[in-house]
Amino acid sequence: MPRVLIFGSTGALGKAISEKFKSKNYEITYAVRKPISDSNHFILPITDQSEKDLPKQLQGNEFDAIIFAQGANTNDSGINYQDEKLQELFDANVSFILQNIRTLMKFNLIKKRGKIVIISSLWELSTRQEKMSYTVTKAAVGGLVRSLAVDLGKAKGILVNGILPGVVETPMSRGLLSPAQINNIENQTPGNVLVQPTDVANSIYLLACEENTAISGQSVLVDYGFSISRVL
């Protein structure tokens, strides 16, 4: 049975990803910050001091796929941003991923020719008003994906990719965007719909499953074409 390790499985996206991999008969291990109902989970952070200090769910395991579905979001601009908030977002969206991959590689927890998929955002490639800190950190994720694809590919043949969802129908999106903004996005999207969590989960599975034999270092948009049709 193939194994997948999912970071950030408690949100709407994480739950959709979990259900997708369950439907494909993967054994799922969850890395979370608070206890969840599934027993096969451990609480972050992971220490990298020694193998015996690893959570028991990681010891002696090798994973076919690693999914990073965690992250943080905020609205700010280059005029009113706060240094500590920018650093907080960078830690959550970039440093967290890099630190955990370093630990997973150190203890050989990713299989040779395994897969890593990192959820980024449409704003990795674009931006809008009042989205400075989020855009900066997601742009950094794009660089991280490309760098890891080279380094981990050379080391173990691991394929690393990013998924860039458009605006996804989640409570977070509804909390950060006004009804008028949501309506505007729908009107500018071919099909007049928001991306659903299942759309993102399906795309992640395509990059993380064994059928992906060569795609690496790519940032893949999942947005119903919003990014090519939006009016700036």
Tell me, yes or no, if 138 is annotated catalytic: yes
Give residues with Cβ within 8 angstroms of 160, minimum separation 6.
Answer: 115, 116, 117, 118, 145, 148, 149, 152, 153, 216, 217
Catalytic residue among 9, 18, 120, 121: 121
Tell me, yes or no, if 121 is annotated catalytic: yes
Catalytic residue among 134, 173, 203, 205: 134
Q: Report DSSP state, residue 79.
A: T
Under a CB-based contact definition with an 8 Å cutoff, are residues 24 and 16 in contact? Answer: no
**Cα–Cα distance, 229 to 227 (Å, whole number):** 6
Tell me, yes or no, if 39 is annotated catalytic: no
CA dist 215 → 109, 146, 160 (Å): 21, 12, 8
Catalytic residue among 20, 111, 115, 138: 138
* Cis preceding linkage at 2, omega within 30: no
Under a CB-based contact definition with an 8 Å cutoff, are residues 188 and 229 in contact? Answer: yes
Tokens (6 digits) for 142: 């794009």
Provide the strand spans (E) within 48-134: 63-68, 110-119
Would you name the residues annotated as active-site residues? 121, 134, 138
